[in-house]
Amino acid sequence: MTAITAVTSQNTNGVKSIVPIPPKEILNQIMFTSKDIKPDAIKIGMLHSTKVIEHVIKSLDRIKIKKIVLDPVMVAKGGAKLIDNKAIKLLKLKLINRATLITPNIPEAEILTKVKIKNIEDMILAANKLLEFGAKNVLIKGGHLNSKFVQDAFVNKFDIKIFKSHRHKTKNTHGTGCTLSSAITTFLSCGKTIKKSCELGIKYVNFAIKTNPNYGKGHGPINHLNTMSISRKFR
């Protein structure tokens, strides 16, 4: 089930406009669908204003779902800012501490923590700062670093795990972050542990990038209909 928070006019080259949905209607979407089909897990994406964040928090208080994956979407692939500063502040104060997992990319982690990230050690430092904000688990996505392999850093108070993936030479990576957080939430809802959900989600997105359909003149979409094999230990 999906609650739409904004309608965007965009293509593979960038975002032309963003039209927000009224916060009350976002709350109505969440409450009315959850009343019919109670979710096992929730993924939270773009929340563009303080009012939207406040209404989402209100809905979380009512439906009481414990498995929450927060993808703090702040900047579009083309560089357009998608969230204002007041909303970022409220996200840090009131929403991060409710999340089972937060999945920022490097620019988002830098905005949230004020840490300049140049390597994997900086990613771990930023992740620990996010834990201080109240996040239970953090997955910082390393795709923005210029390296042969993509390294994603999973960190909580007890564990640090670096997931290493091949970097595919393609500009068609539109939607990778949103897809990853959604995939992790899906695996989490099926009963996988948070770390295994991250591992499987990363694997799914890696296959989706590898098999992208090569659409558009800019950053084209990845292939959500990809097939990946899952070894027996994950089943």
Is 141 a residue of the active site? yes
Is 14 a residue of the active site? no
Distance CA 37, CA 217 (A): 39
State which H helix or E strand residue 124 sits in: helix 120-132
Is 170 a residue of the active site? no
Is 211 a residue of the active site? no
- Give the rounded distance of the alpha carbon of 2 from its chain centre: 15
Angstrom CA distances, 151 to 89, 146, 147, 163, 195, stand at: 28, 11, 9, 6, 15
Residue 116: how many other CB atoms lie within 10 Å = 10
Name beta bridge partners: 140. 153
Name beta bridge partners: 9. 17
Please identify which of the residues 173, 179, 185, 186 carries the catalytic annotation: 173
Please identify which of the residues 143, 175, 201, 220 carries the catalytic annotation: 175
Contact of 178 with 84, CB cutoff 8 Å:
no
Burial of 168 (0-12, 13-18, 19+ CB in 10 A): middle
Please identify which of the residues 129, 171, 178, 210 carries the catalytic annotation: 178
Sheet holding 68-70, edge to edge: 42-44, 68-70, 101-102, 138-140, 149-155, 160-166
Distance CA 28, CA 208 (A): 33
Please identify which of the residues 50, 113, 176, 179 carries the catalytic annotation: 176
Please identify which of the residues 141, 143, 186, 201 carries the catalytic annotation: 141
Is 175 a residue of the active site? yes
Is the four-CA dihedral 80, 83, 89, 91 of positive or negative sign?
negative
Please identify which of the residues 45, 142, 143, 177 carries the catalytic annotation: 177
Q: Which residues are catalytic?
A: 141, 173, 175-178
